[in-house]
Amino acid sequence: MCAIFGLVGNPEASKLTYLGLHALQHRGQEGAGIVSTHQQRPYALKKRGLVGDVFSSAELAELPGHHAIGHTRYSTAGGDAACNLQPFLLRTAQGWIAVAHNGNLTNASVLMRRLEQMGSIFQSTADTEVIIHLMARTGEPQLEKALTAALAQVEGAYSLLVMDQNKLIAVRDPHGFRPLVMGRLQGKPVFASETTAFDLMGAKYEREIAPGEMVIVDLKEQEPLRSFFPFHAIAPRKCVFEHVYFARPDSHVFGAGVYETRKALGKQLAQEQPASGADMVIPVPDSGVYAAIGYSEAAQIPFEMGIIRSHYMGRTFIEPSQTIRDFGVKLKLNPVSGFLHGKKVVVVDDSLVRGTTSKKLIRHLRDAGVAEVHLRISAPPTKHPCFYGIDTPTQKELLASHQTIDQIRNYIGADSLGYLSLKGLLEVCSRKSEEGFCHACFSGEYPTVQAHAALST
């Protein structure tokens, strides 16, 4: 999961891209980058770290031009090495190309080996660079034709912003796994992974880039924005976990408000997994807050913030010795001990993956004097890895892949454990959004061939 942002026709393009990336920081915290273009020459800066730390005012001033694209990285394919930071900027016989990618190509390793055998030299281990090599090998001078030919050879998830000296292109894979939206700022096109980036700068949301759509913007403004669908139409398979967890709650994703959808998931969870006799509903902040509000409303059990989250955990925080048990979890999530003493609580979270954090949190709740802990998850059990841009653990590390719900409940120490059903999840999301979701992490039903192959190896 990464973030991409781009805009054209604004004298403060790099500064606005910085703001857009800042609003999308939740989609990737390992590094950030911006490529701008001025008088057909590219200017680039990318570094490890958060957006606010990567770009200073002086550095943004060294990214001139009216057009820019940006990226925040959350490593999936290729790992978190600095060489994998985006946007990628490479020179070809046809000129320079900059690419920012959110997603994951399931056949990237096969294509990379083939390209290396043909003489290609890769500067990174990221799957995104495969697209650029495929484009370069077409020999096609028109950016959209080279990109179309390259993408016809790849499989998997991609929401892309691609820029050269003449054009900026936004394109989404035919399944539409990852979100990509378009808006207008002072009448000029602007693109982002989520609408929250538009809110920060006052851009007006216009629409989603449709699955399989390619939108072309001429940087010289000699022709209007063009849109076409160069790929065979296939069934949409948008990532349902964007609604469950990844997208910001103030965003509009896949045609629906994320906040409203998460509340509705909580209400559905309360219907499917009630907890009679509970004194209060408390969320695991911040990811469980909105589902917990919905659960509270539907179950008519008071909502309370019984767990406080620290928002100031730095990457270089010095931990004490191992004699202080479970320090990391308690530093981030701390129960309100006096308030919770003797209470029966429903704890709502969005997911349970390895179970280690839930186990430690429940232990802390017991230490705070909680009488009963009923854990409710606003998604189905996560049983399968994701190959479409989410860095999930291997299948054997996923607790639900090899343990029953009762075994998981016993492991984490809860009095009861209840998940939202897959049917309930899809019913809510289909009511709130457009139909056609990928739910492979819950069901194991992968939409692409190479994902099945990867799972079997």
| Amino acid identity at 227 | S
Active site residues: 2
Tally of domains within the chain: 2
CATH number at residue 400: 3.40.50.2020
Q: What's the whole-model pTM score?
A: 0.92
Residues 31 and 173 in one domain: yes
Backbone angles phi, psi at 427, to 5 degrees: -65, -45
Residues 330 and 378 in one domain: yes
Residue 405's alpha-carbon distances to 26, 61, 99, 169, 351, in angstroms, are 30, 55, 43, 46, 13
Residues 193 and 104 in one domain: yes
The CB-side HSE value for 77 (13 A sphere, CA atoms) comes to: 26
Indicate whether 241 belongs to any domain: no
Indicate whether 305 belongs to any domain: yes
| Amino acid identity at 426 | L
Residue reference for tokens 């080279």? 146
Residues 416 and 367 in one domain: yes
Distance separating the N- and C-terminal Cα atoms of the chain: 23
CATH number at residue 73: 3.60.20.10
Q: Return the pLDDT at 80.
A: 62
- pLDDT tens sequence across 248-298: 999 999 989 999 999 999 999 999 999 989 999 999 998 899 999 999 999
SS3 402: coil
Q: Return the pLDDT at 258.
A: 96
DSSP assignment, residue 246? I
Backbone CA torsion sign across 195, 198, 199, 205 = negative
Residues 68 and 140 in one domain: yes
Indicate whether 246 belongs to any domain: no
Indicate whether 422 belongs to any domain: yes
Residues 292 and 204 in one domain: no
Of 187, 207, 234, which residue constitutes the final position of a domain? 234
Q: Return the pLDDT at 327.
A: 65
Residues 225 and 291 in one domain: no
Q: Return the pLDDT at 65.
A: 97
Distance CA 225, CA 217 (A): 5
Q: Return the pLDDT at 317.
A: 43
Distance CA 349, CA 332 (A): 15
Of 181, 207, 234, which residue constitutes the final position of a domain? 234
Indicate whether 376 belongs to any domain: yes
Q: Return the pLDDT at 180.
A: 98
Indicate whether 240 belongs to any domain: no
Indicate whether 192 belongs to any domain: yes
List, for the chain, all residue ranges whose pLDDT scores fall below the cut of 70. Answer: 75-80, 312-328, 330, 450-457
- What percent of the chain lies above the pLDDT cut of 90? 78
Residues 269 and 356 in one domain: yes
Residues 374 and 225 in one domain: no
Q: Return the pLDDT at 283.
A: 97
Q: Return the pLDDT at 325.
A: 53
| Amino acid identity at 395 | Q
Residues 281 and 352 in one domain: yes
Name the residue among 68, 71, 89 with its Cα closest to residue 14: 68
Indicate whether 325 belongs to any domain: yes
Cross-strand bridge partners of residue 48: 31
Q: Return the pLDDT at 365.
A: 95
- pLDDT tens sequence across 205-225: 999 999 999 999 999 877 789
Tokens of 409: 């409940």
Distance CA 38, CA 20 (A): 20
Q: Return the pLDDT at 312.
A: 66
Q: Return the pLDDT at 456.
A: 46
| Amino acid identity at 67 | H
Determine the structural domain holding residue 41 and report its residue range.
3-234
Residues 175 and 210 in one domain: yes
Q: Return the pLDDT at 449.
A: 74
Residues 152 and 178 in one domain: yes
Distance CA 361, CA 396 (A): 22
